[in-house]
């Protein structure tokens, strides 16, 4: 069918509910809106999908959730009776329709004979991941759109190890979804029937207690926490799922002076107090910082709706005035990496064959930290599923010991019982690190400066360009194709100088083609890249420490083209100035490619 035929089918067929039909009837004179809603199916990527709420095949709604669940069911059935009996864990966050989507997922799976453990209330990503391992489930589903605006929701699929489903399984699930040509044939059953038959069982407090106990064993320096138990801390859940688990673990390890931003405490999918519930944005912490000033808090942090990301600010004094510094994701990752390795080294708890994991667009200073403690640093593509994969291969199945993983987008993980980024364990570690710093007579701001003094100054930045709709997606794709074509036409170092609009390029890693290009005055040398294929171009820029870089990649979850930068120097001012210059030059270049 054409997209117009599909639109009319959804608008008129008796299978669809009255609200869906009314929503579609209201756009009958808007051809562009009809096209955007129906020109394609919402794309199921390597771990699921995310989209705008609404009626249509390119929107998040109960019908698309049912179709995805039916495809997942077919995959599980193909894996045998044991997989069906081990079943699926389902969790959801505070977004609009998250409980409804979770129920549809559960009742669809149950209708195909697959057992389900359904969370009895909203719970975050890390608890979903932990629950899969706790119940020895075959798979998991998390209903969330993470830090996206309130008009979004999403559907993330996890494998039996608690990590996001691997590409091979995702491909099979996608093919099963695509094989469903008539949405009216999808099975379902009432929740009451599914529960009475034992196919759906709700769970909750038992796992909460086990998860909290597991986290408490990951404390690094309990003595410092004991001495600084009254440290004043402000926390905001940003209307999401982090409120209960974060407060439980902080209380469990001994922090006694926690202040919650009341206006942002309760779950609310509209996120009424913030423009976007993303702790990467300093403005998302503005209410928390105002409360911190009133209660003289030393530390401020906030978690996003599914509590897999955390943003942090710390009290400091600038020119005699108390203020709060917001840390970037890279800065906090660097601090936590140094804190964990340094503390364990001093306490004698850092094992041989230890390793840490970060991503190709995260700070390059992580290598210097790991080298200082004799720890291997592994780099993966962007996405925590790759970090979870390294834990499985090298810790669970190998003879190495995972210590810490992080990515620049405010995601952190310690321990091996969760296989996705975990803002709950990060909150515990950050508070513990602040307690240790106070014990040493410094703030977290002082600590960061000490880390820079030891390893060199490094500053990173990310810029995003959002282009909604079909036209926007096409522009993003065309811009990446154009940059790739210019790369392939560059014959030497002179040609490479203009590849990103100004900064001199010495090498480029094309992860989609799995090729690294190294430029000299005389030509180009190519070598293979062994990481999985991904639509990423990383430009090596040299610099004082030889590790400056810039990167372009389309977001895997939002209609954005993202560009990243990292500049490193022994001198702070030089690094900051060069970062601004490179960012301005490449941003102007990319805007030209996008036509904005």
Q: What is the DSSP letter of 393?
A: I
Residue 227: exposed, middle, or buried by beta-carbon count in 10 A (0-12, 13-18, 19+)?
Answer: middle
Per-residue b/e over 334-364, b at no fewer than 16 CB within 10 Å?
A: bbbbbbbbbbbeeeeebeeebbbbbbbbbbb
Neighbouring-strand partners of residue 569: 457
Of the candidates 552, 548, 526, which has an alpha carbon nearest to the alpha carbon of residue 538? Answer: 552
Residue 157, C-beta contacts closer than 8 angstroms, at least 6 positions apart:
47, 48, 72, 139, 140, 141, 164, 165, 170, 173
Block residue for tokens 């970090």: 387
Residue 164: exposed, middle, or buried by beta-carbon count in 10 A (0-12, 13-18, 19+)?
Answer: buried
CA distance 11 to 117: 34
Of the candidates 249, 251, 237, which has an alpha carbon nearest to the alpha carbon of residue 302? Answer: 237
Task: Give the relative orientation of helices 125-134 and 423-439 as an angle to the nearest 10 degrees.
Answer: 110
Of the candidates 156, 135, 52, which has an alpha carbon nearest to the alpha carbon of residue 89? Answer: 135
CA distance 294 to 150: 29
Block residue for tokens 């020119």: 319
Block residue for tokens 């390793």: 355
Neighbouring-strand partners of residue 538: 509, 551
Length in residues, the chain? 596
- Number of Cβ within 10 Å of residue 312's Cβ equals 28
CA distance 164 to 49: 12
Complete DSSP assignment for 395-417: IISSS-EEEEEEETTTEEE-SSS
So which residues are the catalytic ones?
146
Per-residue b/e over 44-78, b at no fewer than 16 CB within 10 Å?
A: bbbbbbbbbbbbbbbbbbbbbbbbbbbbbbbbbee
* Sign of the torsion angle spanned by Cα atoms 541, 547, 385, 338: negative
State in Å, rounded, how far the first CA of the chain is from the last one.
34
CA distance 102 to 99: 5
CA distance 101 to 64: 10
């Amino acid at each position: 069918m054409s997209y117009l035929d599909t639109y009319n089918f959804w608008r008129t067929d008796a299978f669809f509910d009255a609200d869906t039909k009314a929503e579609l009837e209201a756009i009958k004179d808007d051809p562009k809106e009809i096209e955007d809603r129906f020109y394609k199916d919402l794309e199921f990527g390597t771990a699921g999908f995310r989209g705008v709420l609404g009626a249509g095949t390119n929107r998040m709604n109960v019908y698309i959730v049912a179709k995805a669940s039916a495809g997942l069911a077919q995959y599980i059935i193909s894996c045998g009776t044991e997989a069906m009996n081990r079943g699926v864990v389902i969790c959801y966050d505070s977004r609009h329709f998250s409980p409804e989507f979770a129920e549809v997922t559960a009742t669809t799976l149950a209708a195909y004979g697959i057992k389900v453990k359904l969370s009895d209330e909203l719970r975050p990503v890390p608890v979903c991941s932990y629950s899969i391992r706790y119940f020895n489930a075959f798979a998991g589903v998390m209903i969330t759109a993470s830090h996206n605006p309130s008009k979004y929701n999403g559907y993330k699929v996890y494998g039996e190890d608690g990590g996001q489903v691997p590409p091979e399984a995702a491909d099979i699930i996608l093919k099963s979804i695509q094989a469903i040509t008539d949405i009216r044939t999808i099975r379902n059953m009432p929740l009451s029937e599914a529960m009475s038959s034992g196919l759906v069982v709700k769970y909750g407090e038992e796992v909460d207690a086990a998860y909290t106990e597991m986290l408490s064993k990951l404390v690094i320096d309990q003595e410092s926490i004991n001495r600084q138990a009254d440290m004043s801390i402000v926390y905001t859940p940003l209307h999401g799922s982090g409120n209960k688990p974060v407060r439980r673990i902080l209380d469990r390890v001994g922090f006694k002076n926690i202040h919650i931003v009341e206006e942002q405490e309760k779950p609310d999918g509209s996120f009424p107090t913030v423009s976007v519930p993303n702790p990467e944005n300093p403005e998302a912490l503005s209410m928390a910082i105002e409360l911190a000033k009133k209660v003289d808090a030393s530390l401020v942090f906030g978690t996003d709706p599914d509590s897999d990301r955390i943003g942090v600010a710390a009290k400091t004094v600038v020119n005699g005035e108390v203020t709060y510094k917001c840390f970037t994701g890279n800065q906090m990752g660097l601090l936590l990496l140094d804190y964990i390795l340094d503390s364990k080294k001093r306490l004698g708890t850092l094992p041989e064959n230890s390793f840490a994991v970060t991503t190709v667009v995260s700070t390059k200073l992580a290598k210097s930290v790991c080298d200082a403690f004799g720890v291997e640093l592994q780099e993966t593509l962007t996405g925590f599923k790759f970090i979870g994969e390294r834990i499985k291969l090298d810790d669970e199945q190998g003879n190495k010991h995972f210590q810490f993983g992080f990515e620049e987008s405010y995601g952190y993980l310690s321990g091996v019982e969760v296989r996705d980024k975990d803002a709950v364990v990060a909150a515990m570690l950050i508070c513990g690190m602040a307690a240790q710093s106070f014990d040493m007579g410094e703030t977290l701001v002082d600590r960061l400066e000490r880390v820079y003094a030891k390893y060199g100054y490094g500053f990173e930045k990310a810029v995003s360009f959002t282009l909604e709709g079909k036209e926007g997606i096409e522009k993003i794709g065309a811009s990446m194709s154009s940059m790739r074509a210019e790369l392939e036409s560059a014959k030497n170092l002179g040609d490479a100088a203009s590849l990103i609009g100004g900064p001199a390029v010495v090498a480029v890693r094309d992860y989609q083609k799995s090729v690294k290009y190294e430029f000299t005055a005389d030509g180009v040398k190519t070598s293979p890249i062994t990481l999985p294929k991904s639509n990423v171009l990383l430009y090596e820029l040299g610099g004082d420490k030889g590790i400056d870089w810039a990167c372009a990649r389309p977001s895997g979850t939002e209609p954005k083209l993202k560009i990243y930068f990292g500049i490193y120097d022994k001198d702070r001012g030089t690094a900051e100035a060069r970062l601004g210059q490179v960012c301005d030059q490449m941003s102007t270049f990319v805007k030209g490619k996008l036509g904005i």
